[in-house]
């Protein structure tokens, strides 16, 4: 009987594991089926630091209106000399540009719609949007193919897109479709604080031609490679990812391991303990697999790179800054973003606290569980940082705004960090302390299951937490969002 029960349980378990696996694949297939398709061929010239590219985009009109034009963000154009918004706040110039001023740009050779040249326009207040007129109106559910041929001049900058003596970062490099909101393209500008990017999941087929001594990490899975005349042609594919990034270097070393069904790679050049960083990436992926839900992609690449902030998240790829104070914290934080930003999207301009606050708090939980830093220590530090900042503001101003705001409404980068990361993590700690560990993880997991491959709103997040606890949880969210939270008491109570 016992054996039979065991056997039945084993069968049940095996079936549910299979069902879960199927479910996760089906969700990805389903998301992929409804996503737009990008096909890029890029060649990198290591002498001129120019990326020459041809990009085909197959776009399906999922709005309820006929469209006359397609709009793309061209973040590569923000690196030009006359940009109104500089790529980093002036205070960061010395970190981002250690070799002095340097500029980049994107120039288009041709834009074709269904094979025919069109008069494209570079528009937007800061020339940050490519508008592609359609030859004929595109009605709901109709598909159009656009082909862009362009060159990107990289700047010598430690940023998402740029080259240094050590690495080449290709983040936010290609023209990416603006998200459609209320039947229009959201042509939001670039901001030099936060991650001002919003994009839906799409499918990618990317070919990269690069000198053979470069090791290359991307957001895709390598499907083929061939060498000729000292150059390698790599082809990568990725289904249902929100963006596609590349980091490459002729100084990279690579370490690999497995976490669940995902191959985890660590690319590094200066990290003196690469094995430890790889192990951190692996254990973080396993930790979030267990507590949040299974990571559905086959590859996860962590890259040590030159960057002027701590790190940067892309689907299936994390940039971690060389010389970081703590590689561990940076790797865990960026890995948490694989779930929150990557798989579950949110508007990072309007509600940056959703992915930054949650990723930061999940990092604290990981560090606590792994006996690296006690949760109480991180929460005490966050509480002191936040309350001190608010105390100083209260000293100088009346009616201090403590609400979560869109990134362009924060006074500066410091205030953005204090609100989205620090106060954001305090919101999730308040939920954790109120609901208890088990219900907290159930809510996070529910949020992930419900919103995977989609764009979540604050209400979606709140609903998952209320569902796993009670409606009073909504008051906690609302108070934090509106700036009516009471945090100082935590310090007084120790």
State the alpha helices, DSSP H only, in 34-70.
none
- Residue 156 or residue 172: which is nearer to Zn ion going by CB? 172
Comparing CB distances to Zn ion, the nearer of 205 and 356 is 356
Q: What is the Cα–Cα distance from 450 to 444, expressed in whole angstroms?
A: 10
Kindly determine how many residues on this chain lie close enough to bind Zn ion according to the rule CB under 5 A: 1
> Which residue's CB is nearer to Zn ion, number 161 or number 331?
331
Cα of 365 vs its chain's centroid, Å: 20
- Closest approach, Cβ 133 to Zn ion, in A, equals 37
Using CB under 5 A as the binding rule, the residues of this chain from 311 to 370 that contact Zn ion are 356
- Answer yes or no: are the C-beta atoms of 230 and 43 closer than 8 Å: no
To Zn ion, the closest distance from the beta carbon of 356 in angstroms equals 5
Closer Cβ to Zn ion, 200 or 356, answer by number:
356
Specify the residue, 179 or 425, whose C-beta has the smaller distance to Zn ion.
425
Q: Measured between alpha carbons, how far is 124 from 196 in angstroms, rounded to an integer?
A: 15
Interacting residues of 239 by C-beta distance below 8 A, sequence separation 6+: 28, 29, 31, 32, 35, 203
Contact mark string toward Zn ion, 402..441, x via CB under 5 A? ----------------------------------------
Pattern of binders to Zn ion over 280-299, x per CB under 5 A? --------------------
**Closest residue (Cβ) to Zn ion?**
356
Q: What is the DSSP string of 384-434?
A: HHHHHHHHHHHHH-SS---S---GGGSSSHHHHHIIIIIIHHHHHHHHHHH
- Considering beta carbons, is residue 46 or 413 the nearer one to Zn ion? 413
In the complex, minimum distance from the CB of residue 238 to Zn ion, in angstroms, rounded to a whole number: 21
Q: Which is nearer to Zn ion, 306 or 334 (CB)?
A: 334
* Cβ at position 333, least distance to Zn ion in Å: 6
Neighbours of 132 (CB within 10 A): 23
- Quick one: 340 or 389, whose CB is closer to Zn ion? 340
> Quick one: 356 or 429, whose CB is closer to Zn ion?
356
Shortest separation between residue 171's beta carbon and Zn ion, angstroms: 14
* CB 397, min distance to Zn ion, A: 28
- How far, in Å, CA of 307 to CA of 86, rounded? 16
Cβ atoms within 10 A of the Cβ of 118, count? 17
304, 298 in Cβ contact below 8 A? no
How far is Cα 154 from Cα 175, in angstroms, rounded to an integer? 15
Q: How far is CA 449 from CA 65, 285, 344, 461, in A?
A: 30, 17, 9, 11
Shortest Å, Cβ 56 to Zn ion: 31
- Sole residue written with tokens 């790797």: 331
Smallest gap from Cβ 355 to Zn ion, in A, equals: 7
Q: Cα(339)–Cα(431) distance, rounded to whole angstroms?
A: 19
Distance CA 195, CA 216 (A): 23
Q: Output 147 or 356, the one with its CB closest to Zn ion.
A: 356
**Min CB(337)–Zn ion separation in Å:** 5
What does each C-alpha distance from 334 to 35, 146, 319, 422 come to in angstroms?
Answer: 24, 33, 8, 16
Query: Smallest distance from the beta carbon of 381 to Zn ion, in angstroms?
Result: 17
Residues in the chain: 494
Structure tokens at 127: 């020339």
Nearest CA to 168 out of 103, 226, 251 is that of 251
Q: Which residues bind Zn ion (CB under 5 A)?
A: 356
């Amino acid at each position: 009987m016992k054996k039979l029960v065991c056997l039945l349980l084993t069968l049940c378990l095996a079936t549910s594991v299979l069902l879960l696996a199927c479910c996760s694949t089906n969700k990805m297939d389903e998301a992929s089926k409804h996503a737009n398709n990008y096909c890029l061929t890029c060649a990198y010239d290591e002498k001129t630091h120019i990326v020459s590219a041809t990009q085909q985009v197959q776009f399906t009109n999922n709005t309820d209106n006929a469209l006359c034009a397609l709009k793309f963000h061209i973040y590569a154009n923000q690196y030009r000399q006359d940009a109104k918004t500089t790529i980093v706040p002036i205070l960061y110039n010395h970190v981002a540009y250690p070799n002095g001023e340097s500029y980049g740009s994107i120039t288009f050779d041709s834009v074709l719609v269904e094979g025919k040249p069109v008069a494209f326009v570079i528009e937007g207040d800061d020339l940050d949007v490519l508008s592609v007129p359609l030859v004929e109106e595109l009605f709901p559910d109709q598909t159009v193919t656009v082909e862009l041929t362009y060159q990107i001049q990289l700047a010598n900058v430690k940023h998402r897109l740029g080259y240094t003596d050590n690495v080449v970062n290709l983040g936010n490099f290609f023209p990416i479709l603006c998200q459609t909101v209320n039947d229009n393209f959201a042509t939001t500008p670039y901001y030099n604080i936060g991650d001002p990017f919003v994009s839906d999941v799409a499918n990618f087929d990317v070919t990269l031609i690069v000198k053979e001594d470069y090791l290359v990490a991307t957001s895709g899975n390598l499907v083929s490679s061939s060498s000729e005349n000292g150059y390698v042609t790599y082809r990568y594919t990725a289904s249902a990812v929100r963006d596609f990034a590349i980091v490459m270097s002729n100084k990279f070393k690579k370490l690999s391991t497995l976490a669940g069904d995902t191959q985890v790679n660590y690319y590094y050049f200066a990290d003196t303990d690469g094995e430890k960083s790889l192990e951190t990436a692996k254990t973080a992926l396993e930790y979030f697999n267990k507590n949040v839900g299974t990571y559905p992609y086959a590859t996860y690449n962590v890259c040590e790179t030159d960057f002027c902030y701590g790190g940067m998240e892309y689907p299936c790829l994390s940039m971690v800054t060389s010389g970081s104070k703590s590689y561990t914290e940076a790797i865990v934080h960026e890995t948490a973003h694989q779930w929150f930003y990557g798989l579950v999207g949110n508007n990072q301009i309007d509600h940056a606290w959703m992915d930054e606050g949650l990723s930061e708090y999940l990092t604290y939980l990981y560090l606590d569980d792994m006996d690296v830093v006690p949760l109480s220590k991180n929460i005490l530090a966050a509480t002191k940082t936040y309350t001190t900042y608010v105390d100083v503001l209260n000293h100088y101003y009346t009616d201090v705004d403590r609400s979560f705001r869109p990134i362009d409404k924060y006074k500066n980068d410091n205030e953005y960090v204090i609100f989205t990361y620090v106060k954001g993590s305090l919101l999730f700690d308040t939920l954790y302390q109120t609901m208890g560990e088990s219900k907290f993880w159930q809510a996070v997991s529910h949020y992930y299951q419900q919103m995977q491959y989609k764009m979540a709103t604050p209400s979606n997040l709140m609903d998952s937490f209320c569902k796993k606890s009670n409606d009073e949880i909504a008051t906690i969210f609302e108070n934090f969002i509106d700036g009516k939270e009471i945090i100082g008491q935590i310090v007084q109570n120790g």
